[in-house]
């Protein structure tokens, strides 16, 4: 019997596999698309029972090859590029693939815990699970939004747990392969190590330079939320997966720089001191990005807390400092 993790070689997927291993779970079927071969490194220190390419997995499910062999599916596989313009590709990867897994899981009474996204809310300003608040700004957000709607329409027909987790801005280990789609924290780390400074965007949406606010959540916390629902199969729903407290891009930059300075036995600096010394600079948005940019996100956690998840979340200062330590040891 397998626990299936899709997107297993990706950022959140590989952290899930690692966390399952820490609990003694090794009967894991890892599913991914390794056309980007370097992602294999995320699984090199993990124990799995088997690996399947995503398309082979889809075919195997259609043929009934895994009937009775799966205990749960943790579905993290998706095209996560919010700037992707090939809508057919995004919809097949994010909507149709997810819809096929939902149908399979309900036919086999198998729990499905899947990655949704805070991108469904678009420009906000209310980040509470509910159709009235959901206005995606790009096809990535729309693909996640549309699948959430399918899930909602079928609640009464469910034979097993279905949980959608709307991830906010996730950062942490095993995201190096994401390139330009990696977290702000990783970009700050790389920029500071390469150039001695961090460059953030100019002001937008009524916010001053670097003062745009996002709900930044450590991947460690994301994994704990996933495992909470895996351990409570009677709980179903669509839930925000953020910290519930927005913080600024400036705070991420300051936390990253000070963590790197601490590793060099240097004193911490304030934001004003970093600006004065030219350690943080600001520049224009990439073409086409500003009109689709979320200048503020902050997850309402009432539903998540109501589902029994009571653990605290790391703030940026704590989580980013821990992440920088991991990057220094692994990059």
Phi then psi for residue 289, to 5 deg, are -90, -40
122: left (phi over 0), alpha (psi -120 to 50) or beta: left
Q: What span, in angstroms and rounded, lies between the C-alpha atoms of 325 and 331? A: 10
- Give CA separation, 52 vs 5, 6, 60, 170, 174, in Å: 10, 9, 10, 26, 20
Task: Choose the catalytic residue: 178, 197, 199, 290.
Answer: 178
51 is catalytic: no
- The pair of structure tokens assigned to 140 is 């990535």
Q: Provide the residue count of the chain.
A: 331
Cβ partners under 8 Å of residue 79, min gap 6? 89, 90, 93, 94, 140, 143
Of the residues 140, 142, 167, 171, which is catalytic? 140
- No. of H helices and E strands in the chain? 11, 13
For 285, which DSSP code?
A: P
Q: Specify whether 275 is catalytic.
A: no
CA–CA separation, 63 and 65 (whole Å): 6
Burial class from Cβ neighbours inside 10 Å (0-12, 13-18, 19+) for residue 257 reads: buried
Q: Catalytic site residues? A: 140, 178
């Amino acid at each position: 019997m397998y626990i299936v993790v899709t997107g297993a070689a990706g950022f959140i997927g590989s952290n899930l596999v690692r966390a399952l291993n820490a609990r003694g779970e090794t009967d894991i079927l890892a599913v991914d698309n390794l056309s980007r071969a370097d992602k294999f490194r995320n699984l090199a220190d993990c124990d799995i029972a088997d690996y399947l390419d995503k398309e082979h997995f889809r075919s195997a499910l259609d043929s009934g090859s895994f009937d009775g062999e799966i205990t749960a599916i943790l579905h993290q596989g998706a095209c996560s590029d919010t700037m992707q313009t090939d809508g057919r590709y995004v919809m097949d990867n994010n909507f149709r693939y997810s819809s096929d897994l939902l149908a399979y899981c309900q036919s086999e009474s198998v729990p499905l815990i899947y990655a949704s996204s805070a991108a469904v809310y678009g420009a906000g300003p209310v980040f509470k699970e509910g159709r009235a608040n959901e206005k995606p700004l790009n096809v990535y957000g729309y693909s996640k939004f549309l699948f959430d709607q399918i899930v909602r329409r079928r609640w009464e027909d469910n034979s097993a747990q279905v949980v959608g987790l709307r991830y906010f801005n996730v950062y942490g280990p095993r995201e190096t392969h994401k390139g330009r789609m990696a977290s702000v924290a990783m970009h700050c780390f790389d920029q500071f190590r390469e150039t001695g400074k961090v460059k953030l965007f100019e002001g937008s949406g009524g916010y001053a330079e670097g003062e745009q606010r996002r709900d930044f959540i450590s991947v460690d916390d994301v994994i704990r939320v996933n495992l909470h629902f895996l351990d409570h199969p009677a709980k179903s729903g669509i839930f925000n997966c953020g910290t519930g407290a927005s913080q600024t891009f400036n705070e991420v930059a300051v936390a990253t720089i000070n963590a790197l300075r601490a590793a060099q036995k240097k004193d911490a600096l304030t934001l004003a001191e970093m600006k004065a010394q030219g350690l943080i600079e600001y520049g224009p948005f990439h073409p086409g990005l500003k009109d689709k940019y979320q200048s503020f996100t902050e997850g309402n956690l009432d539903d998540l807390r109501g589902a029994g998840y009571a653990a605290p979340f790391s703030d940026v200062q704590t989580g980013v400092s821990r992440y920088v330590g991991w990057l220094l040891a692994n990059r």
